[in-house]
Chain A
Amino acid sequence: MFPVARQSVLRQARSHLRRSQPTVLPQFSAVARLLSTLALLEQREGKLNVSSLAAVTAGQKLGGSVTGFIAGSGVKAVAEEAAKVQGIEKVIYVENGAYDKGLPENFAPLLVENIKKGGFTHVLTGHSAFGKNLMPRVAALLDSQQISDITSIESEDTFVRPIYAGNAILTVQSSDSVKVITVRGTAFQPGEVTGGSAEVVEGVDPKVESPTEWISEDLAKSDRPDLGTATKVVSGGRGLKSKEEFDRIMLPLADALGAAVGASRAAVDSGYADNSLQVGQTGKNVAPQLYLCAGISGAIQHLAGMKDSKVIAAINKDAEAPIFQVADVGLVGDLFDKVPELTEKLKAQ
């Protein structure tokens, strides 16, 4: 009974939207005219997370209008910053400190209220820890089958996503009336935050209480570029042998290149590097211009996270290591000699 009522409310909201917002692009087909995307943006302590703008880039590829959404304390300023992003027509913001930590128990109802009010056909966000945690809950409330981690858009209902750790590429067509989607950041590069002039409006706030209490966080601090968005990544594996060696060998190389630091699961599990640096199926996906790795054999779970890199370079003492099958440039040798030599020669240039 309830889902039926919800559907009709949605339909009403959507037809209302059609009446009140005549399209500015008459050459679009009827389908494109009805299409409207809500791109959920992320913020932390009043700062826009630029990588979350990948949802906007993906929204633009869908055609139709793109509306940004942001919630938290003091987010009006963030909304105004987001309003400058090219391609956003409107930014909806909800000022309320209850949403600062992105707890899905109150954030999902908030988002659903605003999706219904705006009659959106597509809801997109990044496949980040925040997006992964929140969006399936949103999809549940909308009775929609979410499409996770898309890498490409074929049409308004057809999407491409990797499955089996990137060993197969799936194209799916959705029959849901509201399409709930998370996008792979490295596949939809965020645009510049300049030149746009979106309207900034306040959203509705259902003020649902969260039964979950946020206690604390412990985030790794780093002056180096963010792993997910860096143009260069240097990555170390089990071959580094210890945390001391990892830091001694890999960090100077990262600094010489201005690169972010990554690691294989083996290195993370052995305590050589922090969990948040893990590249692979269960860690981060990266697609930098240069991925330079040392002491990584190249298990399929690791390749899943980095094989879309533009150029892959590998240093490994085992000439048979699978990493050499995907590396554009391979050097067989002892990383304890080769990496410091590489660092010195890069610095000298």
Chain B
Amino acid sequence: MSGLRILVPIKRVIDYAVKPRVNRAQTAVETANVKHSMNPFDELSIEEAVRLRERKVPVEEIVAFSAGPPKAQDVLRTAMAMGADRGIHVVVEESEQLEPLGVAKLLQQVVGQEKSNLVILGKQSIDDDANQTGQVLAGLLNWPQATQASKVTIEGDSVTVTREVDGGVETLRAKLPLIITTDLRLNEPRYASLPNIMKAKKKPLAKKTLKDYEGDFSARLKTLKVTEPPPRKGGVKVDDVDGMIGKLKELGAL
């Protein structure tokens, strides 16, 4: 094994602290003039790749990838400021939105071209909450997968991953090549420092479109409507513990 060639796919999403609003036509969530940032789980992926290099695991290259609108290059620059060596941006217009299956098919080709042997993805993006892309990619490549990772150790081409499961954790071991998806507890992502942000502007960023790749990336799911969740009825405030017990009994919860 000459060294790790890590691919880190990242997604530009509405910032996690923003409360999303459904548009009036009920066709989508309003994205114009809303703060966007890198999907939080993808920050963990970049961080983990950079930490592997800092831990003296032989890392040949860290490539950040994003498929999204022109503005997705902002999150790619952030990834490079955090330590990725270069970026690949597949510019996807609003009208040709990708689903997890489409993204995975795209990544399958990128993995081949870049000769990646480790792909680190976030476990889910906080916009569509699908939690699929990493697993689909592993299936398409027929590579092993370790999802919801909270600890990653690499020795030679053997990777040990502790993953979060219902009720606790489990530990797996697999050989490279491998797909890992990150869970919140994997690490604490760093902030990009100003000098690194400046340096990142000089790192190579390749621009592509879907036409540069083979295959059908069209959507299989048709959005019929997007609605606001039913609001909860305003509740009451009680003055003391007896009031709370009384009210809970009245509501049939006790």
Contacts and interface: CB of A to CB of B under 8 A. Distances in A.
A and B together in one complex = yes
A104 B99 contact: no
A312 interface: yes
Contacts of B219: 145
A216 B160 CA distance: 11
A202 interface: no
Given A138-B139, A311-B248, A163 B29 contact: yes
A301 B221 contact: no
> By CB atoms of chain B within 10 A, which of A139, A140, A176 has the most?
A140
Interface stretch (B54-62, B66-74, B167-175, B197-205): B167-175
B207 interface: no
Contact of B175 (A166, A211, A218, A232): A211
Interface in B16-59: 16, 19-20, 22, 29
Contacts of B139: 104, 108, 136-141
Interface residues of B, number: 80
A336 B217 CA distance: 55
A191 B184 CA distance: 34
A311 B251 contact: yes
B222 A220 contact: no
A128 B169 CA distance: 14
Interface in A246-293: 257, 265, 269, 274-276, 281-282, 284, 289-290
Contacts of A332: 237
Interface in B117-149: 123-124, 126-140, 144-148
14 contacts: A130-B166, A136-B134, A137-B135, A139-B132, A139-B139, A145-B220, A145-B221, A169-B229, A172-B223, A218-B169, A265-B184, A290-B253, A315-B244, A329-B236
Interface of A: 101, 103-105, 108, 128-130, 132-141, 143-149, 158, 162-176, 210-220, 228, 232, 257, 265, 269, 274-276, 281-282, 284, 289-290, 300-301, 307, 310-313, 315, 319, 324-333, 338, 341-342, 345-346
Interface of B: 14, 16, 19-20, 22, 29, 99-101, 104, 123-124, 126-140, 144-148, 150, 160, 164-175, 183-185, 219-229, 232-245, 247-248, 251-254
Given A171-B224, A328-B236, 9 more contacts: A133-B147, A136-B136, A163-B29, A219-B167, A282-B183, A312-B232, A313-B244, A315-B244, A326-B235
